[in-house]
A and B are shown apart, each in its own frame.
Chain A
């Protein structure tokens, strides 16, 4: 009796192994089910989802204008201090003083991509960009200035 049980156990075990190999074998003969991508080679064809939280950017229009008024709400809402805004007083032609941004500093090395700055910005000046290749050789390059050189506030955006 023991010997018969021993032999049936062996056969049951072999059958269970064959069942598993049937699954892997069926994939072996179906090469179109392969989902692996060759990453650095397919860089040009890569399409990321538009909402992907890759990095924070400040969109500029064709006339080099942005929407940031320098109110500092994003700086206030950032949980780990990765945003810093440096403002100055802009005197317009009719003598009115107005706040404008000098530098919108964004430290991507400290950013946790919680999305609070993008969500709370009253003038929708910030947005996420689907760029994910952030490797750089020096730590200083992780500190970015989001407003472009010589850019001004877009007309119609209230400060």
Chain B
């Protein structure tokens, strides 16, 4: 009897197993229902919603300044970018021009949080594939950015530093010097990342030609951010629709055409170099001026629909607000890059080994709270 069942499992029929909701490599509560044939993955069915908090619905009850702190709790690794997206939408709706100083500071902190996010991704990705050393080295460098954040904004992971009309408070006097010190330090340390992991033969074997997705498919699935750019899809919102200071600084859009896990890895490593380049151009020229525009105590958007795209660390993050003229939005919708990137996982992992599924989901850099909202 047992032998018979064993025979059908091994030869003809697929069998399904659960990966998650509590699995170390999903970095949150995400459940994959995986259909396997032997060790080969035939179908992956992601089930999300385990930490659905109804943030979009909550936003309909609260005022615009209060929405900011909820967006922190979605994609917590690029919290500042999410904040800035909502603030930009509100500011564009009210047609307020921000002071140059605000734009400079927002851009610098956005790039710093992009580096911090990629660092944490690098640690976790290395750890998923069996390199525990990466985890310590990445967190060590990320700590320096978090210290910079804490000194100026008061928060380490979630800062709530933006508010409609500018910033909560001015930057700390030490901010510029500390950022310069960090860039100097990180330019020395980042090549170590390559020596540790990129060239490693075990990592290369596990990442090369795993999870291939072509450019056409990437566009069809709507992959954005480093995941889309690894397939050659030029989708950087900072280049396509510049906001803040991105139109005026010189940086390169990182593109790789291989479309596999290694390409997505390399995009993120190169993006850290580009982010440092952006910060170096801005950090010395922060203009003097106000850190915030005086706003009315109760912000009311005029009736209409407002939309803003920004590039978060994981891809395109969009905010869409419908206002009926009240102090709280009629409807607010966030386009999370994570949820859209997740849809491609079935196409990517077809006919790969189950161990490669960990590498593929890691290379997409999924943040689950942003997916479920």
Contacts and interface: CB of A to CB of B under 8 A. Distances in A.
Interface string A107-123: 00000111110011000
B81 to A, nearest CB: 17
A20 B153 contact: no
Given A77-B66, A115-B168, A119-B168, A16 B199 contact: yes
Contacts of B158: 113
Contacts of B192: 23
Contacts of A35: 140, 143
Interface string B139-160: 0100100010011111100101
B163 interface: yes
A49 B150 CA distance: 7
A22 B66 contact: no
Interface size class of A (residues with CB under 8 A): 20 to 34
Contact of A19 (B62, B70, B195, B202): B195
A53 B155 contact: yes
Nearest to B189: A23
A13 B197 CA distance: 12
A116 B151 contact: no
Interface in B158-172: 158, 160, 163, 168-169, 172
A24 to B, nearest CB: 6
Q: Which 6 A-B pairs have the closest CB atoms?
A: A114-B69, A13-B201, A79-B66, A53-B154, A51-B154, A16-B201
Interface of B: 62, 65-66, 68-70, 73, 133, 140, 143, 147, 150-155, 158, 160, 163, 168-169, 172, 192, 195-197, 199-202, 204, 297
20 contacts: A16-B200, A16-B204, A17-B200, A20-B195, A20-B200, A23-B196, A24-B133, A35-B140, A35-B143, A49-B151, A51-B150, A53-B154, A53-B155, A77-B66, A112-B73, A113-B154, A113-B158, A114-B66, A114-B69, A119-B168
Given A23-B192, A77-B66, A115-B160, 19 more contacts: A17-B201, A19-B199, A20-B133, A20-B197, A24-B133, A35-B140, A49-B150, A51-B150, A51-B151, A51-B152, A51-B153, A51-B172, A52-B154, A79-B66, A113-B69, A113-B158, A114-B68, A114-B160, A115-B154
